[in-house]
Amino acid sequence: MPPTLVVRDREHPLTAAESDAVVALAQEATRHDGFAPLSEQFRLSAGAREVDGVDHVLALDAAGAVVGYAQSRLGVEGEPPSAELVVAPAARRQGVGRALAAALPRDARIWSHGSGASAAAASSFAAALGLEPVRRLHVMGRSLRSGPPWPAADVPAGYAVRTFERGRDEDAWLALNAAAFAHHPEQGSLRRPDLEQRIAQPWWDPAGLILVVDADDPDRLAASHWTKVDPPDGEVGEVYVVAVSPERQGQGLGRLVTVLGLDHLRSLGLARVVLYVDEENVAAVRTYSALGFTDVEVHQQFARP
C-alpha cells in the first residue's frame, strides 16, 4: 500500500507533533545507518517548522505514523532547489522513498549522505529514478594530537585577530559569508534567522568564531573561521565555515584562519577535527590536504540530466 503524502510549507507549516516526528525519524535512521540522513540546515529547518523557501513532504503509513520525510529548499540566484529525504528503516523497499522523490520539484538536486554500502544503495536508488551525480562533497579529517604539524599562525601586517561578539558582528559576518559564498547553493543563502538558529544551538561558542579584521578598523572583517564542537562534550571538532572576503583573496588569509581554528580546537583538548568541502573548490581541497587532512567519506548530490 503506497504511503499517504502530506505537504507542508510556509503557509501550512509543520505542526509541532509533525516536527517532533521528523526529528525522531532522523534519529532512528542515524542509529540504524551510522550516519545522519539530514544535513544540519535541513534538520534546523524541520525543527523551525516555518522557513521561507522550504517545503516539507511527510509520508504516513496506514496508522498515520511518519515513516518518511523529504525537504526541498529554494536555490540561490537561480540555482535549482536542493533536497534531502529519509525513510524509516522498517519502511524501506516499500516505495516510500520513490513516492517522496516524486513529490519533490522536478529540478531538485537530492543529497545522499554516508559511505560504503549506504552510498552504493543511494546511487542505485538515484539511478532507478533516472538521476545522475552532479556534485560531490568531501568529508575530510585529521588528528589534533598526532600527524603532520600545521604551520604557525603568522598574522600579516595590517591585520588583527579577535573573536565574534554578539550585537557587534552579526551583520558584518553575514555580509562576509554572502560575499565569500556567492555561488554556493547552501552556505551563500545564510540569513540572519539562520545565523540566530545556530547561535541558539548548545554547541555555540563565540570564542570558536575567529575573525581576521583590519588592524585600523576592527569592525571590518577580512576573513573568519567558525569552529564547532558538537556535542559540546565530544572529542571531535569541526572546521565549520571558513570565509575570506573576495577582495582579500590571494593573501594567505584562508590558510591563516584555518590554522587559527585548528590551534583553538587543539587547545580544547579534542582528539580529531573534520570538515566538509566541495570537490569543485580545488583551492580549498589543496589547502586542507597540505594541512594534513585526508578523505573520510564522500557525499553526492543527484539530479535529472
85 is in an annotated binding site: yes
207 is in an annotated binding site: no
What is the pTM (predicted TM-score) of this model?
0.84
186 is in an annotated binding site: yes
177 is in an annotated binding site: no
**219 has pLDDT over 80:** yes
Q: Which one of 3.40.50.980, 3.40.50.2300, 3.40.640.10, 3.40.630.30 gives the CATH number of domain 4-130? A: 3.40.630.30
167 is in an annotated binding site: no
**174 has pLDDT over 80:** yes
70 is in an annotated binding site: no
Mean pLDDT over each residue of the chain, to the nearest integer:
93
Instruction: Give 247's Cβ-side CA count (13 Å radius).
Output: 10
119 is in an annotated binding site: no
285 is in an annotated binding site: yes
Per-residue confidence (pLDDT) for residue 187, from 0 to 100: 72
139 is in an annotated binding site: no
Tell me if 285 sits within 8 A of 279, measured CB to CB.
Answer: yes
Q: What is the pLDDT of residues 185-215, one digit of tens each?
A: 667 668 899 999 999 999 999 999 999 999 9
286 is in an annotated binding site: yes
CATH superfamily of this structure's domain 142-298: Gcn5-related N-acetyltransferase (GNAT) (3.40.630.30)
253 is in an annotated binding site: yes
Looking at the chain, the domain(s) classified CATH 3.40.630.30 span 4-130, 142-298
**250 has pLDDT over 70:** yes
251 is in an annotated binding site: yes
Q: What is the pLDDT of residues 252-271, one digit of tens each?
A: 999 999 999 999 999 999 99
